[in-house]
């Protein structure tokens, strides 16, 4: 198998200086402000992005140093397969967050609903389009009985050990 390498296109800035205490999903980080600094060589790729109210940030969990195929996620006491969770300790530590785009100032994107640690390397940006991204009649597996925990759930540092 070939090795795949990605080069960051920018850096995500947030008020969270460490993983512990970060809301675990953007909907639990309502109104938390942040910025995306896109490196100068990629600024041209931001053309027309300001027409979207939400964007998808794809990033590298740079603080994740190991992974396990079985994890105890934040919102449950039971162990689940890592691919049935959004835990950051993954074979390929890639994260995604749908955030609100407030405005663009050249290479800086001002965003809200940030659930990302300050200094996180940004891999890609995609526009959020409800007609593409929303699915009806979805099942959410083991989360069905635990989804009510989301507003109070925060990173407790368990995936940094």
Query: What are the structure tokens assigned to 56, written together?
Result: 């998808």
Distance between CA 40 and CA 96 in Å, rounded? 22
Q: Give the pLDDT score at 161.
A: 65
> What string of DSSP letters covers 82-139?
GGGS--S--SS-EEEEEEEEEEEETTEEEEES--S-TTEEEEEEEE--HHHH--SS--
Q: Give 16-72 pLDDT, tens digit per residue.
A: 999 888 887 888 788 999 999 999 999 999 999 999 999 999 999 999 989 999 999
3-state secondary structure of 152: helix
Q: Give the pLDDT score at 25.
A: 81
- Going from the C-alpha of 91 to that of each of 65, 123, 140, the distances in angstroms are 10, 16, 22
Average pLDDT of the residues in 70-89: 92
Q: Which of 59, 47, 156, 66 is nearest to 106 (CA)?
A: 47
Average pLDDT of the residues in 109-124: 97
Q: Does domain 10-154 have CATH number 2.40.30.70?
A: yes
Global confidence as pTM:
0.90
- Going from the C-alpha of 69 to that of each of 4, 63, 72, 73, 88, the distances in angstroms are 20, 18, 10, 12, 12
Query: What are the structure tokens assigned to 90, written together?
Result: 């993954």
Query: What are the structure tokens assigned to 45, written together?
Result: 């790729």
Q: Give 118-155 pLDDT, tens digit per residue.
A: 999 999 999 999 999 888 888 878 878 877 877 777 77
Which residue(s) pair with 70 in the sheet?
Answer: 81
């Amino acid at each position: 198998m070939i090795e795949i390498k990605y080069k960051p296109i920018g850096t995500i800035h947030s008020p969270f200086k460490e993983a512990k205490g970060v809301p675990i999903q953007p909907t639990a980080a309502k109104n938390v402000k942040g910025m995306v600094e896109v490196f100068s060589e990629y600024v041209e790729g931001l053309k027309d992005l300001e027409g979207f109210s939400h964007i998808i940030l794809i990033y590298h969990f740079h603080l994740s140093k190991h992974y396990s195929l079985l994890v105890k996620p934040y919102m449950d006491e039971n162990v689940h397969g890592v691919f049935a969770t959004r835990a950051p300790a993954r074979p390929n530590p890639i994260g995604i967050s749908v955030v609100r785009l407030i405005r663009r100032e050249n290479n800086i994107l001002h965003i809200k609903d940030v659930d990302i640690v300050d200094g996180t390397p940004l891999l890609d940006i995609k526009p959020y389009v409800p007609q593409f991204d929303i699915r009806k009649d979805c099942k959410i597996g083991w989360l069905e009985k635990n989804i009510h925990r989301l507003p109070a759930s925060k990173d407790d540092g368990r995936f940094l050990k």
